[in-house]
Amino acid sequence: MNVVVVESPAKAKTINKYLGSGYTVLASFGHVRDLPAKDGSVLPDQDFEMLWEVDSASAKRMKDIADAVKSSDGLILATDPDREGEAISWHVLDVLNKKRVLNGKSVKRVVFNAITKKAVLDAMAEPRDIDVPLVDAYLARRALDYLVGFNLSPVLWRKLPGARSAGRVQSVALRLVCDRETEIERFISEEYWNISALLKTPRGDEFEAKLVAADGKRLQARSIANGDDAGKLKALLEGAAYVVDSIEAKPVKRNPGPPFTTSTLQQAASSKLGFSASRTMQIAQRLYEGVDIGGETVGLITYMRTDGVQMAPEAIDAARRAIVDQFGERYMPEKARFYSTKAKNAQEAHEAIRPTDFYRSPDRVRKFLDADQIKLYDLIWKRGIASQMASAEIERTTAEIAADNNGKKAGLRAVGSVIRFDGFIAAYTDQKEDGEQTDEGDEGGRLPEINARENLAKQKINSTQHFTEPPPRYSEATLIKKMEELGIGRPSTYAATLATLRDREYVTIDKRKLIPHSKGRLVTAFLESFFTKYVEYDFTADLEEKLDRISAGELNWKQVLRDFWKDFFSQIEDTKELRVTNVLDSLNEQLAPLVFPKREDGSDPRICQVCGTGNLSLKLGKYGAFVGCSNYPECNYTRQLTSENGGEAEGGVQNEPKNLGIDPVTGEELTLRSGRFGPYIQRGDGKDAKRASLPKGWKPEDIDYEKAMALISLPRDIGKHPETGKMISSGIGRYGPFLLHDGGYANLESVEDVFSIGLNRAVTLIAEKANKAPGGRGRGTPAALKELGDHPDGGAITVRDGKYGPYVSWGKVNATLPRGKDPQAITVEEALALIAAKAGKAPAAKGRAKPKAKAAASQGKATKSAAKPKAKAAAKAKAPAKTKKS
């Protein structure tokens, strides 16, 4: 019997069916060890020794694997075929060696790009050793990310309160978003005009032609800069006679794009389906690991973390056969298509993302997949099969038209195209290739019959004014595309990088566009000022290239770390002498459009409008940066940083208070303001003024007098309880909307309920809360927020929302989600890990600990105690390093 180790239980279940009774397939549940999130886990002064820690959940799983290996004939490591997969195999092997359970047993490493029976059995027949250079590249990347994060983040905390963290790739990605925002702020719009003529042929067909030349000069884009010029040209065309100068019909071929890589799949899923990068990868993971197709569990797509664009020869042959069967002989080109990537530093170590079987069309598997899975599979299948189909044949017609008005001449052009043979476009139901633009000129549609030298009748002259627009903000898809072009990050890191920027609140997403938050812009400006090199695009890309060369065995990973650490440590040390005033002076200049937006009255935006003499400047407080007056405490004017080209404050509140009306009872003024903690309503002035923060979901631009009065008047009396005679009121508190009665609270579902709920409904909710409380009729089980599927041991896994927050539930085991984790984003693997950790800590009946839980706990203890001497040594080694520097 052989033990096979894979990452996930879903993968283990599928592979176990393929291999049969001679194998035991166990899941590691991802990485089994990690660097503890504390200083001293990577020791530069000890040649970058790394202190790994096994948490309690992983310790239990490693014990199960170790116990199985003891009684086995050998170990087969079958984790994913990339750097992370290689690293997991290396970690598992290292832990088992330290446990001394292998005792000379054979150890093999196998990789497969798809989870199908053939792919798995073929891989088992061709084992290899662990790829040491690939593991070295993982170690170098992990050490670099740790050293940057755990040395640069504390500098931010000291010099820039409110900043959360910095990272080797995350900070560069954030810089891209912030640089684009700066471009938008500095953009100056320019006027231009387009002129076209609606013309009619002698046969009565109408078409539109655009003005492209006048007075013997070719007009470039935006050549017509003002209305006067446009008016003159329009007058020329109004009185002109028109004749077709020439007509040209030219055949054009359009070729399909390559199959998806990780980044192009994320881009297509974002633009076509509205999926975030992380959501795309979660769905793709399920399709890769295996889906039950009529009683057979099979992987539907190949491995989804890749920058390769080529398919295996056997996959190309299968695609060509499927093309003939489903579309016909003409749709299969004479020769197979081969692709190469244009992405910087692409490794192309793996196949592109493709279906494992091209005969499994979306229609055939639709009933076995959920809505999101079929949408993503449909994208992958179409792109994969189209990549091997014949070119589309298009006829593009260009008509050059001369206009003559008493010797004043102009030239117009009409362009149209028609598909003569659809080719690969037949694979797409919407008749347009996913993620690709139509050819330039196709926007004209099909032209009517036009003959050279024939006269045309003028129907109408159109003259339209336009203004140039600033570059668009990045979406997740376009940011990933840009990072890939620059060679920043790798396929497996894009989704995590974007998630980190959102979680740190460095960026917000509005209508799928990434908008840098003020704290994100502050962090970027700080790093650009004092750590310039480490947020440069070329530097980050060059470092990625070195990591790739390590994986190819061309560079020594520790030498790369030594070279990086020498300069980086010196830069960190230099910032210790940096004064906060230096930081603020630099940020004031670099972020001037954000900190000092232009005023409508043209006054100096750096002078305080309240006292008239103080200078405004960035200030740093406990909760981050804000703008304050230099005359503090005599003048206590403060405001948040502005955004949207300086026009509005965070959340859309004007910099100065906005008058909403007068409270009829108190006679005091109601104003909408922006404070350090967000937008709020204020009634009156001074210390005794009443204030109410805008509830979640309320936008400042939507606040009117009625809403302001309703909010400032809370709590709202609803009526007296018919049994107790005591008042029931509604309000909004720290934990959301609520009902209050006789000192007790009951939650309301929405903010709107606070203002609209009636007495009968309020009494019902209070009674329901009383019945669920301890001593009532029972608490009841909260409704499931999400169903994740079945546990490998049987029983459904669900996500629910309880009294103390969201949790995953399986049988009698309930495991709370980590703080900040989105309940809708939890994966099966994460849920299983939480359940395993919770079950491992649970006491057995009659107060005795379960043997497995005991062993897991002792394993965790042993690991931590083993790391203690090294940690102490690390602490001792730190002081000499500073002495050497000085």
Give pLDDT tens digits for 823-841.
777 888 888 888 888 876 5
Per-residue pLDDT, 582: 83
Instruction: Please list, in sequence order, all residues whose beta carbon lies within 8 angstroms of the beta carbon of residue 671, skipping any fewer than 6 positions away.
Output: 657, 658, 659, 660, 681, 682
- Say yes or no to pLDDT of 127 above 90: yes
User: Is 228 in the same domain as 289?
Assistant: no
pLDDT tens digits for 752-776?
A: 888 888 888 898 888 888 776 554 4
Chain center to CA of 415: 39
User: Active site includes 303?
Assistant: yes
Q: Looking at 366, 390, 414, which one is the last position of a domain?
A: 390
Per-residue pLDDT, 751: 87
Measured on CA atoms in the order 142, 143, 146, 149, is the torsion positive or negative? negative
Cβ atoms of residues 627 and 619 within 8 Å: yes
- Say yes or no to pLDDT of 399 above 60: yes
pLDDT tens digits for 354-378?
A: 999 999 999 999 999 999 999 999 9
Per-residue pLDDT, 403: 95
Per-residue pLDDT, 776: 42
Distances (CA, A) of 292 to 18, 295, 300, 389: 14, 6, 10, 29
What is the rounded distance in angstroms from the CA atom of residue 276 to the CA atom of residue 334? 38
Per-residue pLDDT, 323: 96
Q: Which residue has the higher pLDDT, 424 or 782?
A: 424
Q: Looking at 467, 489, 521, which one is the last position of a domain?
A: 467
User: Is 302 in the same domain as 363?
Assistant: yes
User: Is 355 in the same domain as 419?
Assistant: no
- pLDDT band at residue 645 using 50, 70 and 90 as cut-offs: very low
Cβ atoms of residues 498 and 276 within 8 Å: yes
Q: Tell me, letter by letter, the H, E, C secondary structure of 27-76.
A: ECCCCCCECCCCCCCEEHHHCCEECCECCHHHHHHHHHHHHHHHCCCEEE
Q: Which residue has the higher pLDDT, 208 or 646?
A: 208
Cβ atoms of residues 399 and 365 within 8 Å: no
Judge whether 626 lies within some domain.
Answer: no
Judge whether 778 lies within some domain.
Answer: no
Q: Tell me, letter by letter, the H, E, C secondary structure of 733-766.
A: ECCEEEEEECCEEEECCCHHHHHHCCHHHHHHHH
Judge whether 199 lies within some domain.
Answer: yes
What is the rounded distance in angstroms from the CA atom of residue 90 to the CA atom of residue 5? 11
User: Is 30 in the same domain as 107?
Assistant: yes
pLDDT tens digits for 449-507?
A: 999 999 999 999 999 999 999 999 999 989 999 998 888 888 778 888 998 898 888 89
- pLDDT band at residue 344 using 50, 70 and 90 as cut-offs: low
Of 789, 792, 810, residue with least CA distance to 26: 792
Q: Looking at 449, 467, 485, which one is the last position of a domain?
A: 467
pLDDT tens digits for 30-66?
A: 899 999 888 789 999 999 999 999 988 899 999 999 9
Cβ atoms of residues 416 and 397 within 8 Å: yes
User: Is 346 in the same domain as 437?
Assistant: no
Of 278, 283, 762, residue with least CA distance to 492: 278
User: Is 448 in the same domain as 487?
Assistant: no
Per-residue pLDDT, 240: 94
Range 316-327 average pLDDT: 95
Choice among 19-23, 205-209, 242-246, 380-384 with the minimum mean pLDDT:
19-23
- Say yes or no to pLDDT of 409 above 80: yes
Instruction: Please list, in sequence order, all residues whose beta carbon lies within 8 angstroms of the beta carbon of residue 312, skipping any fewer than 6 positions away.
Output: 113, 351
User: Is 295 in the same domain as 331?
Assistant: yes
User: Is 92 in the same domain as 118?
Assistant: yes
Number of domains in the chain: 6
Instruction: Please list, in sequence order, all residues whose beta carbon lies within 8 angstroms of the beta carbon of residue 428, skipping any fewer than 6 positions away.
Output: 382, 386, 434
Q: What are the backbone dihedrals phi and psi of residue 740, each rounded to the nearest 5 degrees, phi first?
A: -125, 130
What is the residue range of 222's domain?
191-255+393-467
- Say yes or no to pLDDT of 443 above 60: no
Judge whether 854 lies within some domain.
Answer: no
- Say yes or no to pLDDT of 864 above 80: no
Range 10-37 average pLDDT: 89
For the entire predicted model, the pTM comes to: 0.68
Q: Which CATH number fits the domain that encloses residue 312?
A: 1.10.290.10
- Say yes or no to pLDDT of 867 above 50: no
pLDDT tens digits for 712-737?
A: 999 999 999 988 889 999 998 877 88
The enclosing H or E element of 780 equals: none
User: Is 415 in the same domain as 529?
Assistant: no
Q: Which CATH number fits the domain that encloses residue 105?
A: 3.40.50.140
Per-residue pLDDT, 157: 79
Per-residue pLDDT, 313: 92
Per-residue pLDDT, 349: 57
Residue 226 corresponds to which tokens in the numbers above?
Answer: 């003002």
Per-residue pLDDT, 17: 87
Judge whether 669 lies within some domain.
Answer: no
- Say yes or no to pLDDT of 176 above 90: yes
Per-residue pLDDT, 342: 66
Distances (CA, A) of 488 to 201, 483, 539, 606: 54, 5, 9, 38
What's the mean pLDDT when you consider all of the chain? Answer: 84
Judge whether 802 lies within some domain.
Answer: yes
pLDDT tens digits for 179-213?
A: 999 899 889 899 999 999 999 999 999 999 999 99
Range 285-306 average pLDDT: 89
User: Is 403 in the same domain as 367?
Assistant: no
Per-residue pLDDT, 802: 74
User: Is 197 in the same domain as 247?
Assistant: yes
Q: What are the backbone dihedrals phi and psi of residue 148, each rounded to the nearest 5 degrees, phi first?
A: -70, -50
pLDDT tens digits for 227-268?
A: 999 999 999 999 999 999 999 999 999 999 999 999 999 999
Name the active-site residue from 146, 242, 288, 303.
Answer: 303
Judge whether 317 lies within some domain.
Answer: yes
Per-residue pLDDT, 647: 35
- Percent of the chain beyond pLDDT 70? 87
Judge whether 589 lies within some domain.
Answer: no
User: Is 310 in the same domain as 365?
Assistant: yes
